[in-house]
Structure 1
């Protein structure tokens, strides 16, 4: 059964480089790279790279929307595109090769009307029938209510599908219940709980607060160079980052979400699913633009460490996955 991803605010991600970036001066860039973007689409590309069936659902409009559809198709990801009257947004990232800094310019996206939103939800409802996992990732465009992901969580509960959610801001604050796995960054988690989270103890407490409130069964906090922290109601485990030379940080968190969903869909214990996510995120850091990591590189990074882990190229038995709880008990 395919994994389904939803990207309500997709984009064409344009990436280029320049020798130097200075204010007011013309910046001569390298030839641009064009990638299909938006959280759910990026996650779907990693899911497909790891060999799992996936369907990406997203609204698209205008000439840029048609280009986005072509880019998703070229990436080998099956899709359901919902036509909208607005034009799909384009985002820009330029890397200063001299300083090593990356400058990212992100636009708000087109307004989505109520009928267009209803069409999106109808496509999700249709695609999610029989699916174990639905990944919803990214920001919400203008016109979409802040509580869309709560509406989605309630819809998927009735369908028997599990929601993997990665969002921020008002869309995250509006979620009250029904998420299976929530993946905030530590900054997003701090904004949600309303105070800084300077250490592991405060991060763990904030994540467990969401779990005890019924927002999510599992919270995986991405800590950037600090790794990741996975938390359930009674257990937690910290996963260190893996050292690589970073080429582009765009889409690494989405790759993590996609790979964790692959692991869970194959019945991996939660700790192995998170390790697969960390490996995919790390591999994505070494690729240009938002290209997912190569499967062989993901496998190599995943197998680092003393434990024997299931191969990330061998799908688990098609039966119901086990409850993912083998973490360190607190």
Structure 2
């Protein structure tokens, strides 16, 4: 199996709790918080492990909250590659109002990185990426890193024979879509992100496939995946346009579905399976993830059982 290295540069210590009712003014007594290590690449590595594979999680962390993030991952059995980032790892807070069942999510800013930090982490990623392996960029960039950071790393990683899976957002995604230094092997986004980039509605899977083809033509990716929620996902590369259905399952939480898709898809490619089969594995993992609570990711056995329900067809 090919090596999988996930990259998380802006992780968070996720705290989640609940209180009777949220209102301004009085002190709100909350239940003892649950603690989780948060971040796209972290979630992908955890899900790969749940699916029976192994991934190394490159995690930039600092301070007491960063130490907590690393310890949580180690306790879970994740193979962590720590990187000393500046400042202190951010904290996020999620509170459920027990009266209304509404969820309030508070996201704190992470540390600001300097030019020297950028050079250090660039060198560390290139050093840890193994020739011919899979590198997954997932999640946001920390403040101070250029929006081109992921894109700028692509040429050297591709020269090492790596496959680069990019699942980012915001300005980093916009840069890759419009001004890529080199095409990612796989560029993934959700339907809302795709419509924002396209500056138009993409109401059908065919519309999504057309836009994915535009992104390939402009050099954003060698293959582009656009998720369409409960409907499934579209994949376009230089040879084919595919659609994979999501399994029809009861939805408890959509959190973690995208990261689980990336995990299932990447693990399948790392095991030498073709891209069509990898789409099935990704869709099954995402379908399994929505059946779990809150920050839980996919269940490995459930994901395997759902593969037959995730059908791939040509567009």
- CA, structure 1 residues 137+85, in 2 after alignment: closer, same or farther (shift >3 Å)? same
Correspondence list, 1:286-325, <5 A: 286-304=291-309
Matched with 1:229 is: 234
Matched with 1:73 is: 74
Give the CA deviation at 1:200. 2.5
CA distance in 2: counterparts of 1:21 and 1:272, whole angstroms: 46
CA distance in 2: counterparts of 1:228 and 1:103, whole angstroms: 29
Q: Does 2:176 align with 1:171?
A: no
- CA, structure 1 residues 153+109, in 2 after alignment: closer, same or farther (shift >3 Å)? same
Correspondence list, 1:40-189, <5 A: 40-96=41-97, 99=100, 101-175=102-176, 176=180, 177-189=182-194
Q: Is the 8 A contact 1:80 1:123 kept in 2?
A: no
- CA, structure 1 residues 21+235, in 2 after alignment: closer, same or farther (shift >3 Å)? farther
Which of the numbers 206, 219, 223 marks the counterpart of 1:214? Answer: 219
Q: Is the 8 A contact 2:246 2:309 kept in 1?
A: no
CA distance in 2: counterparts of 1:296 and 1:2, whole angstroms: 23
- CA, structure 1 residues 296+118, in 2 after alignment: closer, same or farther (shift >3 Å)? same
| CA RMSD, 1 decimal | 2.2
Give the CA deviation at 1:99. 4.9
- CA, structure 1 residues 206+21, in 2 after alignment: closer, same or farther (shift >3 Å)? farther
Matched with 1:190 is: 195
- CA, structure 1 residues 131+57, in 2 after alignment: closer, same or farther (shift >3 Å)? farther
Give the CA deviation at 1:277. 1.1
Structure 1-normalised TM-score? 0.86
Q: Is the 8 A contact 1:2 1:52 kept in 2?
A: no
Q: Is the 8 A contact 2:3 2:270 kept in 1?
A: no
Matched with 1:316 is: none
CA distance in 1: counterparts of 2:283 and 2:99, whole angstroms: 29
Moved more, 10-19 or 210-219: 10-19
Matched with 1:246 is: 251
- CA, structure 1 residues 18+277, in 2 after alignment: closer, same or farther (shift >3 Å)? farther
Structure 2-normalised TM-score? 0.90
Give the CA deviation at 1:304. 3.0
CA deviations 1:79-101 (Å, max 9, x no partner) are: 11111231101122334556554
CA distance in 2: counterparts of 1:229 and 1:100, whole angstroms: 34
- CA, structure 1 residues 16+244, in 2 after alignment: closer, same or farther (shift >3 Å)? farther
User: Structure 1: any 5+ residue segments left out of the alignment?
Assistant: 308-325
CA distance in 2: counterparts of 1:247 and 1:94, whole angstroms: 17
CA distance in 2: counterparts of 1:299 and 1:224, whole angstroms: 20
